[in-house]
A and B are shown apart, each in its own frame.
Chain A
Amino acid sequence: MVAKWIETLTGSLEQKKQYKQDKARIDGLPEPYATAAKAMHRYFMYFGGITDGDTLMTMFGDLADLWERAAVDGTPIRDIVGDDPVEFAETFAQAYTGKQWIDKERARLTKAIEDAEREERK
Protein backbone atom coordinates (compact mmCIF):
# COMPACT_ATOMS: atom_id res chain seq x y z
CA MET A 1 0.00 0.00 0.00
CA VAL A 2 2.75 2.39 0.96
CA ALA A 3 4.76 1.27 -2.05
CA LYS A 4 1.80 2.05 -4.28
CA TRP A 5 1.50 5.52 -2.81
CA ILE A 6 5.21 6.18 -3.29
CA GLU A 7 5.04 4.96 -6.87
CA THR A 8 2.37 7.51 -7.73
CA LEU A 9 4.99 10.10 -6.81
CA THR A 10 8.12 8.48 -8.22
CA GLY A 11 6.96 6.27 -11.06
CA SER A 12 7.28 2.51 -10.99
CA LEU A 13 9.94 1.32 -8.56
CA GLU A 14 9.91 -2.08 -10.25
CA GLN A 15 10.83 -0.42 -13.55
CA LYS A 16 13.63 1.57 -11.94
CA LYS A 17 15.02 -1.62 -10.46
CA GLN A 18 14.78 -3.39 -13.81
CA TYR A 19 16.44 -0.46 -15.56
CA LYS A 20 19.32 -0.48 -13.10
CA GLN A 21 19.76 -4.23 -13.51
CA ASP A 22 19.85 -4.02 -17.30
CA LYS A 23 22.25 -1.07 -17.15
CA ALA A 24 24.50 -3.06 -14.83
CA ARG A 25 24.48 -6.00 -17.26
CA ILE A 26 25.54 -3.66 -20.06
CA ASP A 27 28.22 -1.97 -17.96
CA GLY A 28 29.50 -5.36 -16.86
CA LEU A 29 30.14 -6.65 -20.38
CA PRO A 30 33.73 -7.36 -21.38
CA GLU A 31 35.32 -4.97 -23.86
CA PRO A 32 34.81 -4.21 -26.68
CA TYR A 33 31.18 -5.31 -26.23
CA ALA A 34 30.54 -2.92 -23.33
CA THR A 35 31.54 0.07 -25.47
CA ALA A 36 29.29 -1.03 -28.34
CA ALA A 37 26.33 -1.80 -26.07
CA LYS A 38 26.69 1.47 -24.12
CA ALA A 39 26.80 3.43 -27.37
CA MET A 40 23.55 1.79 -28.51
CA HIS A 41 21.97 2.36 -25.11
CA ARG A 42 22.86 6.04 -25.33
CA TYR A 43 21.52 6.31 -28.86
CA PHE A 44 18.19 4.81 -27.81
CA MET A 45 17.79 7.55 -25.21
CA TYR A 46 17.77 10.05 -28.07
CA PHE A 47 16.18 8.09 -30.87
CA GLY A 48 13.72 5.78 -29.15
CA GLY A 49 10.86 8.16 -28.60
CA ILE A 50 9.21 5.39 -26.61
CA THR A 51 7.32 6.86 -23.70
CA ASP A 52 5.94 3.62 -22.35
CA GLY A 53 8.14 2.34 -19.54
CA ASP A 54 7.38 -1.36 -19.94
CA THR A 55 8.26 -1.29 -23.62
CA LEU A 56 11.48 0.57 -22.89
CA MET A 57 12.41 -2.02 -20.24
CA THR A 58 11.81 -4.87 -22.70
CA MET A 59 14.03 -3.13 -25.22
CA PHE A 60 16.90 -2.57 -22.79
CA GLY A 61 16.60 -6.15 -21.55
CA ASP A 62 16.84 -7.45 -25.12
CA LEU A 63 19.79 -5.16 -25.78
CA ALA A 64 21.62 -6.69 -22.80
CA ASP A 65 20.68 -10.20 -24.04
CA LEU A 66 22.06 -9.44 -27.48
CA TRP A 67 25.45 -8.22 -26.28
CA GLU A 68 25.88 -10.79 -23.54
CA ARG A 69 25.33 -13.53 -26.11
CA ALA A 70 27.71 -11.85 -28.57
CA ALA A 71 30.36 -11.56 -25.84
CA VAL A 72 30.06 -15.25 -24.88
CA ASP A 73 30.14 -16.40 -28.51
CA GLY A 74 32.94 -13.98 -29.39
CA THR A 75 30.93 -12.64 -32.32
CA PRO A 76 32.78 -9.74 -33.98
CA ILE A 77 31.13 -6.34 -33.37
CA ARG A 78 30.63 -5.80 -37.12
CA ASP A 79 28.75 -9.08 -37.39
CA ILE A 80 26.22 -7.59 -35.02
CA VAL A 81 25.88 -4.01 -36.18
CA GLY A 82 26.76 -4.43 -39.88
CA ASP A 83 28.14 -1.63 -42.05
CA ASP A 84 25.75 0.98 -40.69
CA PRO A 85 25.37 0.97 -36.90
CA VAL A 86 22.79 3.76 -37.01
CA GLU A 87 20.55 1.78 -39.30
CA PHE A 88 20.98 -1.27 -37.12
CA ALA A 89 20.11 0.62 -33.93
CA GLU A 90 17.05 2.20 -35.53
CA THR A 91 15.81 -1.12 -36.96
CA PHE A 92 16.27 -2.66 -33.51
CA ALA A 93 14.40 0.16 -31.78
CA GLN A 94 11.60 0.18 -34.34
CA ALA A 95 10.58 -3.31 -33.24
CA TYR A 96 9.35 -1.73 -30.00
CA THR A 97 7.53 1.26 -31.37
CA GLY A 98 4.10 0.03 -30.36
CA LYS A 99 3.45 3.03 -28.16
CA GLN A 100 5.43 6.00 -29.34
CA TRP A 101 4.69 9.68 -28.93
CA ILE A 102 4.63 9.88 -32.74
CA ASP A 103 1.66 7.48 -32.76
CA LYS A 104 -0.54 10.28 -31.43
CA GLU A 105 0.61 12.52 -34.25
CA ARG A 106 0.08 9.76 -36.79
CA ALA A 107 -3.50 9.33 -35.61
CA ARG A 108 -3.97 13.09 -35.76
CA LEU A 109 -2.68 13.32 -39.34
CA THR A 110 -4.89 10.43 -40.42
CA LYS A 111 -7.94 12.07 -38.85
CA ALA A 112 -7.15 15.49 -40.36
CA ILE A 113 -6.97 13.97 -43.85
CA GLU A 114 -10.24 12.12 -43.27
CA ASP A 115 -11.89 15.37 -42.16
CA ALA A 116 -10.55 17.14 -45.22
CA GLU A 117 -11.86 14.36 -47.42
CA ARG A 118 -15.32 14.73 -45.89
CA GLU A 119 -15.24 18.45 -46.63
CA GLU A 120 -14.36 17.63 -50.22
CA ARG A 121 -17.43 15.42 -50.63
CA LYS A 122 -19.83 18.10 -49.44
Chain B
Amino acid sequence: MSQISRRQAMAILGALGFGATAAACAGPGGSTAPGGASGPAAPSTGAITGKVSFAHWRGEDKAVFDELIKRFVAKHDGMEIAQDISTSNDYNAQALQKLRGGSIGDAFATFRGAQFKNFTEAGIYTELKDSQAVKNYQKGLLSAGQNGDSQLGLPYQVVFPMPMANLDIFDKAGAETAPKNWDAFLGMCEKLASAGVIPISWPGGDVGNGGQLFNCMIANNAPVDDMCAQIEQGKLKCTDDWFIKMLNQYKDLTPFVQPNATGTAVEPAQNLFSQGKAAMLATGSYHLAAVRGLGAKFPIDLVFPNTTSDGNGKYEGAYNATFILGVNSASKNQAAAAAWIDFLSEPENAGYYANQTAQHVSVDKVEYTNPDLKRLSPWLQKKTALAARFQFNNLDVRNAVEASATAVISGTSPEQAAAAAQKIVDERL
Protein backbone atom coordinates (compact mmCIF):
# COMPACT_ATOMS: atom_id res chain seq x y z
CA MET B 1 0.00 0.00 0.00
CA SER B 2 1.50 3.31 -1.01
CA GLN B 3 1.97 5.93 1.66
CA ILE B 4 0.59 9.44 1.58
CA SER B 5 1.82 12.58 3.20
CA ARG B 6 -0.06 14.54 5.82
CA ARG B 7 -0.61 17.22 3.25
CA GLN B 8 -2.28 14.72 0.93
CA ALA B 9 -4.36 13.38 3.80
CA MET B 10 -5.48 16.91 4.65
CA ALA B 11 -6.39 17.43 1.02
CA ILE B 12 -8.57 14.32 1.09
CA LEU B 13 -10.29 15.47 4.31
CA GLY B 14 -10.66 18.92 2.76
CA ALA B 15 -12.35 17.37 -0.26
CA LEU B 16 -14.69 15.52 2.07
CA GLY B 17 -15.46 18.79 3.81
CA PHE B 18 -16.10 20.46 0.48
CA GLY B 19 -18.43 17.61 -0.40
CA ALA B 20 -20.29 18.16 2.87
CA THR B 21 -20.50 21.87 2.06
CA ALA B 22 -21.89 21.15 -1.36
CA ALA B 23 -24.40 18.75 0.14
CA ALA B 24 -25.36 21.36 2.71
CA CYS B 25 -25.85 23.92 -0.01
CA ALA B 26 -28.20 21.70 -1.95
CA GLY B 27 -30.97 24.15 -1.05
CA PRO B 28 -33.03 24.93 1.94
CA GLY B 29 -36.34 24.08 0.33
CA GLY B 30 -37.62 20.56 0.71
CA SER B 31 -38.76 18.37 -2.09
CA THR B 32 -42.45 18.95 -1.51
CA ALA B 33 -43.68 21.44 -4.03
CA PRO B 34 -46.31 23.79 -2.73
CA GLY B 35 -49.80 24.05 -3.94
CA GLY B 36 -50.01 23.03 -7.49
CA ALA B 37 -51.30 25.29 -10.22
CA SER B 38 -54.73 23.68 -10.33
CA GLY B 39 -55.38 24.30 -6.62
CA PRO B 40 -55.97 21.79 -3.88
CA ALA B 41 -57.59 18.46 -4.69
CA ALA B 42 -60.31 16.76 -2.67
CA PRO B 43 -59.15 13.96 -0.35
CA SER B 44 -58.70 10.71 -2.20
CA THR B 45 -61.47 8.17 -1.74
CA GLY B 46 -61.18 4.50 -0.88
CA ALA B 47 -61.65 2.03 1.94
CA ILE B 48 -61.93 3.50 5.40
CA THR B 49 -59.31 1.42 7.10
CA GLY B 50 -55.74 1.53 8.34
CA LYS B 51 -53.96 3.99 10.61
CA VAL B 52 -54.73 7.70 10.87
CA SER B 53 -52.65 10.20 12.78
CA PHE B 54 -54.64 13.10 14.22
CA ALA B 55 -52.33 15.99 15.05
CA HIS B 56 -53.41 18.82 17.33
CA TRP B 57 -52.33 20.80 20.37
CA ARG B 58 -55.25 20.41 22.78
CA GLY B 59 -53.88 18.00 25.34
CA GLU B 60 -56.80 18.89 27.61
CA ASP B 61 -59.19 17.37 25.04
CA LYS B 62 -57.34 14.05 24.76
CA ALA B 63 -59.81 12.03 26.83
CA VAL B 64 -62.75 13.42 24.86
CA PHE B 65 -61.10 12.56 21.56
CA ASP B 66 -60.19 9.11 22.90
CA GLU B 67 -63.87 8.44 23.48
CA LEU B 68 -64.79 9.77 20.03
CA ILE B 69 -62.05 7.61 18.49
CA LYS B 70 -63.55 4.56 20.26
CA ARG B 71 -66.93 5.36 18.74
CA PHE B 72 -65.45 5.90 15.28
CA VAL B 73 -63.39 2.73 15.35
CA ALA B 74 -66.47 0.76 16.45
CA LYS B 75 -68.13 1.84 13.20
CA HIS B 76 -65.13 1.05 10.98
CA ASP B 77 -63.36 -2.26 11.31
CA GLY B 78 -59.61 -2.13 10.86
CA MET B 79 -59.36 1.54 11.74
CA GLU B 80 -56.83 2.92 14.15
CA ILE B 81 -56.48 6.58 15.11
CA ALA B 82 -53.55 7.93 17.10
CA GLN B 83 -53.51 11.39 18.58
CA ASP B 84 -50.25 13.28 17.99
CA ILE B 85 -50.48 16.05 20.55
CA SER B 86 -47.95 18.86 20.85
CA THR B 87 -48.03 21.93 23.04
CA SER B 88 -49.53 24.91 21.23
CA ASN B 89 -46.16 26.69 20.96
CA ASP B 90 -44.45 23.61 19.55
CA TYR B 91 -47.36 23.07 17.23
CA ASN B 92 -47.03 26.63 15.98
CA ALA B 93 -43.31 26.24 15.43
CA GLN B 94 -42.99 22.69 14.13
CA ALA B 95 -46.29 21.34 12.85
CA LEU B 96 -45.73 22.41 9.27
CA GLN B 97 -42.41 20.60 9.01
CA LYS B 98 -43.89 17.47 10.58
CA LEU B 99 -47.01 17.46 8.46
CA ARG B 100 -45.23 17.95 5.16
CA GLY B 101 -43.80 14.44 5.31
CA GLY B 102 -47.29 13.00 5.76
CA SER B 103 -46.11 10.52 8.40
CA ILE B 104 -48.05 12.35 11.09
CA GLY B 105 -51.16 14.46 10.85
CA ASP B 106 -53.27 12.65 8.24
CA ALA B 107 -55.98 14.71 9.86
CA PHE B 108 -54.90 17.80 11.76
CA ALA B 109 -55.94 21.05 13.36
CA THR B 110 -54.67 24.54 12.59
CA PHE B 111 -54.71 27.88 14.33
CA ARG B 112 -56.50 30.65 12.54
CA GLY B 113 -54.37 33.42 11.06
CA ALA B 114 -50.67 33.10 10.31
CA GLN B 115 -50.57 29.32 10.70
CA PHE B 116 -53.59 28.77 8.45
CA LYS B 117 -51.99 31.05 5.85
CA ASN B 118 -48.64 29.25 6.03
CA PHE B 119 -50.28 25.84 5.75
CA THR B 120 -52.30 27.06 2.79
CA GLU B 121 -49.20 28.37 1.02
CA ALA B 122 -47.39 25.13 1.72
CA GLY B 123 -50.19 23.16 0.02
CA ILE B 124 -50.90 21.07 3.11
CA TYR B 125 -54.68 21.14 2.74
CA THR B 126 -57.06 19.14 0.63
CA GLU B 127 -60.28 20.69 -0.67
CA LEU B 128 -63.24 19.99 1.62
CA LYS B 129 -65.82 22.10 -0.27
CA ASP B 130 -67.73 19.05 -1.48
CA SER B 131 -67.24 16.92 1.63
CA GLN B 132 -70.08 15.50 3.69
CA ALA B 133 -68.73 17.33 6.70
CA VAL B 134 -69.07 20.85 5.36
CA LYS B 135 -72.84 20.49 5.06
CA ASN B 136 -73.10 20.09 8.83
CA TYR B 137 -71.63 23.48 9.69
CA GLN B 138 -73.33 26.82 10.18
CA LYS B 139 -72.55 28.60 6.93
CA GLY B 140 -71.68 31.87 8.60
CA LEU B 141 -69.00 30.24 10.74
CA LEU B 142 -66.98 28.62 7.95
CA SER B 143 -65.10 31.68 6.71
CA ALA B 144 -62.03 31.16 8.92
CA GLY B 145 -61.24 27.97 6.96
CA GLN B 146 -61.71 29.43 3.50
CA ASN B 147 -59.12 30.54 1.00
CA GLY B 148 -60.72 32.14 -2.00
CA ASP B 149 -63.35 29.69 -3.25
CA SER B 150 -61.79 26.76 -1.42
CA GLN B 151 -62.93 25.38 1.90
CA LEU B 152 -59.58 24.09 3.12
CA GLY B 153 -60.39 23.75 6.80
CA LEU B 154 -63.42 23.38 9.00
CA PRO B 155 -63.41 25.81 11.94
CA TYR B 156 -64.58 23.43 14.66
CA GLN B 157 -64.67 25.36 17.90
CA VAL B 158 -66.40 28.66 18.48
CA VAL B 159 -64.99 30.73 21.29
CA PHE B 160 -66.01 34.19 22.38
CA PRO B 161 -62.98 36.30 23.26
CA MET B 162 -65.04 38.62 25.45
CA PRO B 163 -64.95 39.28 29.19
CA MET B 164 -66.74 36.62 31.22
CA ALA B 165 -68.99 38.02 33.94
CA ASN B 166 -69.86 36.77 37.42
CA LEU B 167 -73.63 37.35 37.31
CA ASP B 168 -74.00 37.14 41.09
CA ILE B 169 -71.72 40.14 41.52
CA PHE B 170 -73.46 42.01 38.71
CA ASP B 171 -76.84 41.41 40.37
CA LYS B 172 -75.56 42.50 43.73
CA ALA B 173 -74.01 45.67 42.31
CA GLY B 174 -77.04 46.40 40.14
CA ALA B 175 -74.81 46.56 37.08
CA GLU B 176 -76.14 45.90 33.61
CA THR B 177 -74.56 43.10 31.57
CA ALA B 178 -75.28 44.65 28.19
CA PRO B 179 -74.02 48.23 28.31
CA LYS B 180 -75.31 50.22 25.34
CA ASN B 181 -72.18 52.32 24.76
CA TRP B 182 -68.79 53.17 26.18
CA ASP B 183 -70.08 55.49 28.90
CA ALA B 184 -72.53 52.83 29.98
CA PHE B 185 -69.70 50.31 30.10
CA LEU B 186 -67.61 52.62 32.29
CA GLY B 187 -70.69 53.28 34.45
CA MET B 188 -71.10 49.54 34.87
CA CYS B 189 -67.46 49.30 35.97
CA GLU B 190 -68.03 52.13 38.48
CA LYS B 191 -70.95 50.25 40.03
CA LEU B 192 -68.90 47.08 40.29
CA ALA B 193 -66.01 48.97 41.89
CA SER B 194 -68.42 50.56 44.36
CA ALA B 195 -69.57 47.07 45.33
CA GLY B 196 -66.05 46.44 46.59
CA VAL B 197 -64.74 44.16 43.86
CA ILE B 198 -62.22 44.54 41.06
CA PRO B 199 -64.37 45.20 37.99
CA ILE B 200 -62.00 43.57 35.47
CA SER B 201 -59.36 40.91 36.03
CA TRP B 202 -57.01 41.28 33.07
CA PRO B 203 -53.88 39.13 32.51
CA GLY B 204 -51.74 41.94 31.15
CA GLY B 205 -48.56 39.97 31.81
CA ASP B 206 -49.58 37.26 29.37
CA VAL B 207 -49.29 38.39 25.78
CA GLY B 208 -51.64 35.76 24.35
CA ASN B 209 -54.49 36.04 26.83
CA GLY B 210 -54.10 39.73 27.56
CA GLY B 211 -54.46 40.38 23.84
CA GLN B 212 -57.97 38.92 23.60
CA LEU B 213 -59.60 42.11 24.91
CA PHE B 214 -58.19 43.82 21.82
CA ASN B 215 -60.74 41.92 19.67
CA CYS B 216 -63.59 43.65 21.49
CA MET B 217 -61.95 47.04 21.72
CA ILE B 218 -61.14 47.28 18.02
CA ALA B 219 -64.30 45.73 16.53
CA ASN B 220 -66.47 48.86 16.50
CA ASN B 221 -63.64 51.40 16.51
CA ALA B 222 -61.98 50.44 13.24
CA PRO B 223 -63.23 51.90 9.97
CA VAL B 224 -63.12 48.52 8.17
CA ASP B 225 -63.51 44.84 9.08
CA ASP B 226 -60.03 43.85 7.90
CA MET B 227 -58.43 46.57 10.03
CA CYS B 228 -55.54 44.46 11.33
CA ALA B 229 -54.66 43.18 7.86
CA GLN B 230 -54.67 46.79 6.70
CA ILE B 231 -52.45 47.89 9.59
CA GLU B 232 -49.99 45.17 8.62
CA GLN B 233 -50.10 46.29 5.01
CA GLY B 234 -49.57 49.93 5.97
CA LYS B 235 -52.96 51.07 4.70
CA LEU B 236 -54.13 51.94 8.20
CA LYS B 237 -51.85 53.21 10.93
CA CYS B 238 -51.70 52.87 14.68
CA THR B 239 -51.25 56.61 14.76
CA ASP B 240 -54.66 57.14 13.08
CA ASP B 241 -57.31 58.89 15.14
CA TRP B 242 -59.53 55.83 15.49
CA PHE B 243 -56.66 53.78 16.91
CA ILE B 244 -55.64 56.53 19.32
CA LYS B 245 -59.29 56.76 20.39
CA MET B 246 -59.23 53.03 21.15
CA LEU B 247 -56.04 53.44 23.19
CA ASN B 248 -57.69 56.26 25.12
CA GLN B 249 -60.51 53.85 25.93
CA TYR B 250 -57.92 51.41 27.23
CA LYS B 251 -56.67 54.26 29.39
CA ASP B 252 -60.24 54.69 30.68
CA LEU B 253 -60.09 51.08 31.86
CA THR B 254 -56.97 51.59 33.99
CA PRO B 255 -58.83 52.31 37.28
CA PHE B 256 -61.02 49.26 36.74
CA VAL B 257 -58.41 46.55 36.23
CA GLN B 258 -56.60 45.00 39.19
CA PRO B 259 -53.52 46.81 40.56
CA ASN B 260 -50.33 45.96 38.66
CA ALA B 261 -52.38 44.27 35.95
CA THR B 262 -49.51 44.39 33.46
CA GLY B 263 -47.58 41.96 35.67
CA THR B 264 -50.44 39.50 36.10
CA ALA B 265 -50.18 36.11 34.43
CA VAL B 266 -53.28 34.30 33.25
CA GLU B 267 -53.61 31.85 36.17
CA PRO B 268 -53.74 34.54 38.89
CA ALA B 269 -56.20 36.51 36.74
CA GLN B 270 -58.41 33.44 36.54
CA ASN B 271 -58.12 33.01 40.29
CA LEU B 272 -59.25 36.57 41.01
CA PHE B 273 -62.36 35.88 38.96
CA SER B 274 -63.00 32.37 40.28
CA GLN B 275 -62.69 33.50 43.89
CA GLY B 276 -65.22 36.28 43.36
CA LYS B 277 -62.66 39.04 43.87
CA ALA B 278 -63.16 40.28 40.31
CA ALA B 279 -66.46 40.70 38.51
CA MET B 280 -65.11 40.04 35.00
CA LEU B 281 -62.29 38.04 33.48
CA ALA B 282 -61.16 39.73 30.29
CA THR B 283 -60.05 36.65 28.35
CA GLY B 284 -62.89 34.65 26.85
CA SER B 285 -65.31 31.75 26.96
CA TYR B 286 -62.44 29.37 26.29
CA HIS B 287 -61.61 29.73 29.98
CA LEU B 288 -65.00 28.45 31.15
CA ALA B 289 -63.70 24.99 32.00
CA ALA B 290 -60.63 26.45 33.71
CA VAL B 291 -62.58 28.76 36.02
CA ARG B 292 -65.05 25.99 36.85
CA GLY B 293 -62.05 23.83 37.62
CA LEU B 294 -60.85 26.53 40.01
CA GLY B 295 -64.11 26.27 41.92
CA ALA B 296 -66.28 29.02 40.41
CA LYS B 297 -69.92 28.19 41.24
CA PHE B 298 -71.63 31.42 40.12
CA PRO B 299 -73.56 31.84 36.85
CA ILE B 300 -71.40 33.17 34.03
CA ASP B 301 -72.33 35.26 31.02
CA LEU B 302 -70.34 37.34 28.55
CA VAL B 303 -70.09 41.11 28.42
CA PHE B 304 -69.15 43.04 25.30
CA PRO B 305 -67.31 46.29 26.00
CA ASN B 306 -69.27 48.38 23.53
CA THR B 307 -66.84 51.11 22.51
CA THR B 308 -69.32 53.20 20.56
CA SER B 309 -70.47 56.54 21.89
CA ASP B 310 -74.01 56.37 20.46
CA GLY B 311 -74.70 52.66 20.85
CA ASN B 312 -74.90 52.11 17.10
CA GLY B 313 -72.05 49.71 16.75
CA LYS B 314 -71.79 47.27 13.89
CA TYR B 315 -71.04 44.36 16.20
CA GLU B 316 -72.55 43.06 19.44
CA GLY B 317 -69.62 40.88 20.32
CA ALA B 318 -66.60 38.98 19.03
CA TYR B 319 -66.00 35.32 18.27
CA ASN B 320 -63.15 33.20 17.05
CA ALA B 321 -62.47 29.81 15.55
CA THR B 322 -59.01 28.58 16.43
CA PHE B 323 -59.36 24.85 15.98
CA ILE B 324 -59.60 24.36 12.24
CA LEU B 325 -59.79 20.76 11.04
CA GLY B 326 -58.10 19.68 7.82
CA VAL B 327 -57.00 16.64 5.83
CA ASN B 328 -53.32 16.47 4.91
CA SER B 329 -52.59 16.48 1.19
CA ALA B 330 -49.40 14.47 1.89
CA SER B 331 -51.31 11.77 3.77
CA LYS B 332 -51.22 8.23 2.42
CA ASN B 333 -54.62 7.55 3.97
CA GLN B 334 -56.73 10.55 3.01
CA ALA B 335 -59.95 8.56 2.74
CA ALA B 336 -59.83 7.46 6.37
CA ALA B 337 -58.63 10.88 7.55
CA ALA B 338 -61.53 12.55 5.75
CA ALA B 339 -63.94 10.03 7.26
CA TRP B 340 -62.65 10.96 10.72
CA ILE B 341 -63.22 14.67 10.02
CA ASP B 342 -66.71 13.84 8.73
CA PHE B 343 -67.38 11.88 11.92
CA LEU B 344 -66.27 14.76 14.16
CA SER B 345 -68.54 17.08 12.19
CA GLU B 346 -71.71 15.09 12.83
CA PRO B 347 -73.94 17.01 15.27
CA GLU B 348 -74.06 14.17 17.80
CA ASN B 349 -70.26 13.83 17.96
CA ALA B 350 -69.63 17.55 17.81
CA GLY B 351 -72.15 17.91 20.64
CA TYR B 352 -70.28 15.36 22.72
CA TYR B 353 -67.04 17.26 22.11
CA ALA B 354 -68.66 20.59 22.94
CA ASN B 355 -70.36 19.51 26.14
CA GLN B 356 -67.34 17.67 27.46
CA THR B 357 -64.88 20.45 26.73
CA ALA B 358 -67.18 23.37 27.50
CA GLN B 359 -66.56 24.85 24.06
CA HIS B 360 -69.14 25.80 21.50
CA VAL B 361 -68.79 24.33 18.03
CA SER B 362 -69.57 25.64 14.57
CA VAL B 363 -71.54 22.53 13.72
CA ASP B 364 -75.25 23.18 13.28
CA LYS B 365 -78.04 21.49 15.25
CA VAL B 366 -75.87 20.65 18.22
CA GLU B 367 -77.66 20.19 21.52
CA TYR B 368 -75.77 21.85 24.34
CA THR B 369 -76.34 20.13 27.67
CA ASN B 370 -73.48 21.84 29.53
CA PRO B 371 -75.20 24.58 31.60
CA ASP B 372 -72.59 27.22 30.73
CA LEU B 373 -72.79 26.48 27.03
CA LYS B 374 -76.58 26.55 27.22
CA ARG B 375 -76.53 29.98 28.86
CA LEU B 376 -74.04 31.35 26.34
CA SER B 377 -75.66 29.80 23.27
CA PRO B 378 -77.63 32.95 22.35
CA TRP B 379 -74.27 34.53 21.52
CA LEU B 380 -74.03 32.12 18.56
CA GLN B 381 -76.91 33.98 16.97
CA LYS B 382 -75.70 37.52 17.68
CA LYS B 383 -73.82 39.70 15.27
CA THR B 384 -70.30 39.02 16.38
CA ALA B 385 -67.06 40.10 14.70
CA LEU B 386 -64.51 37.45 13.78
CA ALA B 387 -61.62 38.10 16.18
CA ALA B 388 -59.51 40.75 14.52
CA ARG B 389 -56.12 40.07 16.09
CA PHE B 390 -55.75 36.88 14.08
CA GLN B 391 -55.76 38.85 10.85
CA PHE B 392 -52.13 39.66 11.54
CA ASN B 393 -49.84 37.30 9.70
CA ASN B 394 -46.67 38.77 11.16
CA LEU B 395 -46.46 37.93 14.85
CA ASP B 396 -44.03 40.76 15.55
CA VAL B 397 -46.56 43.22 14.19
CA ARG B 398 -49.39 41.65 16.16
CA ASN B 399 -47.43 41.72 19.40
CA ALA B 400 -46.29 45.29 18.84
CA VAL B 401 -49.80 46.55 18.10
CA GLU B 402 -51.31 44.75 21.09
CA ALA B 403 -48.42 45.84 23.30
CA SER B 404 -49.48 49.43 22.69
CA ALA B 405 -52.62 48.73 24.72
CA THR B 406 -50.61 47.16 27.54
CA ALA B 407 -48.25 50.12 27.51
CA VAL B 408 -51.20 52.50 27.92
CA ILE B 409 -52.52 50.53 30.91
CA SER B 410 -49.07 50.77 32.48
CA GLY B 411 -49.01 54.54 32.08
CA THR B 412 -47.60 55.37 28.64
CA SER B 413 -49.55 58.01 26.74
CA PRO B 414 -51.73 56.65 23.90
CA GLU B 415 -49.84 58.77 21.35
CA GLN B 416 -46.46 57.48 22.46
CA ALA B 417 -47.64 53.87 22.59
CA ALA B 418 -49.18 54.16 19.13
CA ALA B 419 -46.01 55.68 17.68
CA ALA B 420 -43.87 52.88 19.15
CA ALA B 421 -46.16 50.25 17.64
CA GLN B 422 -46.23 51.97 14.26
CA LYS B 423 -42.42 52.01 14.19
CA ILE B 424 -42.39 48.20 14.31
CA VAL B 425 -45.12 48.01 11.67
CA ASP B 426 -43.16 50.34 9.37
CA GLU B 427 -40.06 48.21 9.77
CA ARG B 428 -41.97 45.09 8.73
CA LEU B 429 -43.63 46.63 5.69
A and B from one assembly? no
Binding site for B on A (CB under 8 A): none
Binding site for A on B (CB under 8 A): none
